[in-house]
Amino acid sequence: MRNIKMTIEYDGGRYLGWQRLGDSDRTIQGKIESTLSDMTGTKIEIVGSGRTDAGTHAKGQVANFKTTSDMDVEAMQNFLNRYLPRDIVVKKLVDASERFHSRYHAVKKQYSYYVWNHQVPSAFERKYSYLYPDHLDVDKINAACKKLTGTHDFIGFSSLKKSKKSTERTIEEITMHREGNLIRFTFVGDGFLYNMVRIIMGTLLEIGSGLQEPEYIDAIFKSKIRSDAGMTLPSQALFLDEVYYD
């Protein structure tokens, strides 16, 4: 039995997210599994490094699947990219060790969120960024980002209702890079809760526009209440950039 590791890029705009849904064929996982099953002639199930929500994109999602097929990985990749929808691309396909697991063996992930910061919207960036016309105070945002880095209980920055598992996560860094009117916020951490990046982004924009101060972050960590944080920003501006393994 072979274990194949995949690196996948996709535009999530017309999908209901990564995870397969029994009553819909509009998921990334479902599309890939269907194409793999056609390719091998057997039912294939893939395991992703994690879920991405409806409308969220990926430049480096990782998944793995088991197969008895003797087709070489280059032929597999060519088949997949020929028959998958054009908004899903398999960037890399390799034979992995038998024990490799794309979710359990991931040690950290990088996400990016894009903000179009101008009064005039962009016809081209509108599908992949969030329009925010107000002036942003970079110093205040950076001060807030410093408070967010490190190990914290991020339940107040999550849409999780309840969780038996730990909601403690470690963010290694948050960076902000501006090029013209487009701002890219990059998050690197060992894991992210449901809607965590999008809620943090809503909170950072409130701080940057002067509606809140950087100490707002401390108050949310203390209260652990979702409604105390900023709004959940839309998913179309969020990208899973990379998944890291040892």
Four-way CATH pick for 107-245: 3.30.70.660, 3.40.1390.10, 3.40.50.300, 3.10.180.10: 3.30.70.660
> What are phi and psi for residue 47, nearest 5 degrees?
-115, 125
Give the pLDDT score at 194: 94
Q: Which amino acid is at 34?
A: S
Fold match between 2-96 and 107-245? yes
Where are any strands of DSSP class E within the chain?
A: 2-10, 46-48, 57-67, 88-96, 106-116, 130-131, 150-153, 168-179, 182-189, 238-245
| Domain ranges across the chain | 2-96, 107-245
Q: What is the mean pLDDT of each run of 10 residues along the chain (246 residues)?
A: 97 94 86 96 95 96 97 97 98 97 97 98 96 97 98 96 88 97 98 96 98 97 96 98 96
Residues 171, 179, 53, 55, Cα dihedral to 10°: 180
> For residue 184, with 0-12 CB atoms within 10 Å meaning exposed, 13-18 middle and 19 or more buried, which class applies?
middle
> Could you tell me how far CA 114 lies from the centroid of its own chain?
12
Catalytic residues: 53
Helix ranges restricted to H, the chain: 28-40, 73-83, 138-148, 196-208, 216-223
Burial 121-133 (b: 16+ CB within 10 A, else e): eeeebeebbbbbe
Nearest of 84, 78, 50 to residue 64 by alpha carbon = 50
The neighbour count for residue 221, using CB atoms within 10 Å, is 17
Give the pLDDT score at 211: 96
> Could you tell me how far CA 228 lies from the centroid of its own chain?
23
Give the pLDDT score at 95: 97
Give the pLDDT score at 25: 82
Give the pLDDT score at 23: 67
CATH fold of the domain at 2-96: Alpha-Beta Plaits (3.30.70)
Q: What does the alpha-carbon distance between residue 217 and residue 203 come to, in Å, rounded to a whole number?
A: 8
